[in-house]
Structure 1
Amino acid sequence: MIVLNKIYTKTGDDGETALGNGARVAKHSMRVTAYGTVDEANATVGMARLHADPDLDAALARIQNDLFDLGADLCRPDMERDADAEYPPLRMVKAQVDRLESEIDAMNSRLEPLRSFILPGGSALAAHLHLCRTVSRRAERETVELATMETVNPDAVKYLNRLSDWFFVAARVANDDGRADVLWVPGANR
């Protein structure tokens, strides 16, 4: 159990932070950047939840919890040493990816196929979900970049890839099942 009774520690005043295994790294390290963007994505989900109906709110709450799991996964390097850890690190698992895929398929079954790209917007909820999509896509790019330097759980990358797709489809659902999507008109303002 985590107990946070003192919020500031002053240990980061020199530009370093502690990873989940206690190692100190620069705050601008790729690992910190990746899980920091996951945290940012989580905050955008919180904003979207303000506009969601109860069913979507419950799904977004599950995603927020998953994003904390993902941050916990990314802040613990040395996957090969997991078996020796005093407390086994929390890692993303295939079931979390599978759940997103199932939810995407269920939402997408309500929608007509796209015949144009859509602009991020429409309803307030859809606009927030598109912001969630773009921030989660950035988190994915940063996590993939991290994976070129260090070991990263493959399920973490897969989860982020599916998550941005989930937000895209959810945004279409939020736009009256795609009927209120704002279509891109190529060259409209030439």
Structure 2
Amino acid sequence: MGYRLSKIYTRTGDRGETGLADGRRVGKDHPRIEAIGEVDTLNSQLGLLLADLQEALGQWPGLAEIVEVLAPCQHRLFDLGGELAMPDYQALQSGEIERLEAAIDLWNDEVGPLQNFILPGGSRLIAQAHVCRSFARNAERHCQHLNAVEPLRAEGLAYVNRLSDLLFVAARLIAKRQGIAEVLWKAADKP
């Protein structure tokens, strides 16, 4: 990927279309552009979570492992965005999915089985991890919508799915390492 933008605005999108790396022009509401946008939003939210985690390391050094696992995910999301923008480009490998699964298994062993539904909250870090998880699910839905129209590589679809699982377990692990009780869902009173 040697091409870099030297000029930020081009005026080519003023009429509601944008260009893909393969030269095609598509509407800005095309499923491919929607998927790219959702992956980008997830990446931005993940950046916010990582910045907050970095700031919290002084108080909770046990969060460093979470940073180490999540930081590469921003790069892989950028790779996925590249695959979405350039349909013939392949960047994500199955080893990255295995890396996420290994972290999920390790962290899930530490937090233990889920006893009840939990709500996003307890601390800003926990809530932000859940925000990222929900954005990952949204990105996954948009990628699956695109996949129904223009088939995508299985690695990209699996990656965003596992990342949402990882972020759920990360939220639980953050709570445990911060010493904060998970916010348990309470059913509404029945009439």
TM-score by length of 1: 0.89
RMSD: 1.7
State yes or no: 1:112 paired with 2:122. no
CA distance in 2, matches of 1:9, 1:189: 58
**Is residue 122–residue 180 contact of structure 2 (8 Å, CA) maintained in 1?**
no
1: CA distance between counterparts of 2:131 and 2:92? 23
Distance, in Å, in 1 between the alignment partners of 2:166 and 2:92 is 17
Contact 2:12 2:18 in 1 (8 A): yes
2:47 corresponds to which residue?
A: 46
User: Aligned residue for 1:157?
Assistant: 157
Residue pairs, 1:1-190, within 5 angstroms: 1-52=2-53, 53=57, 54-77=64-87, 82=88, 89-177=89-177, 180-187=181-188
Deviation at 1:59, TM superposition (A): 2.1
Aligned equivalents of 1:35 and 1:57: distance in 2? 24
Work out the CA distance in 1 between the residues paired with 2:190 and 2:180.
23
Task: Specify the code of the residue in structure 2 equivalent to 1:11.
Answer: T
Q: Please report how far the alpha carbon of residue 179 of structure 1 lies from its aligned counterpart in structure 2 after TM superposition.
A: 5.4
In structure 2, C-alpha distance between the alignment counterparts of 1:188 and 1:131, rounded to whole Å: 27
Distance (whole Å) between structure 1 residues aligned to residue 45 and residue 189 of structure 2: 30
Unaligned runs of 5+ in 1: 83-88
Query: Which whole-Å CA distance do the structure 1 matches of 2:13 and 2:76 have between them?
Result: 26
Aligned-residue identity in percent: 42
**For residues 40 and 7 of structure 2, what CA distance do their matches in structure 1 show?**
20
Asked if structure 2 preserves the Cα contact closer than 8 Å seen for 1:91 and 1:153, the reply is no
Give, as a single letter, the amino acid of the residue that structure 1 aligns with 2:118.
I
Residue 180 of structure 1: CA displacement? 1.6
The Cα offsets for residues 20-52 of structure 1, whole Å up to 9 and x where unpaired, read as 212110000001001110000000001101221
Secondary structure at the residue paired with 2:21? coil
Give the aligned partner of residue 86 of structure 1.
none
Letter in structure 2 aligned against 1:139: A
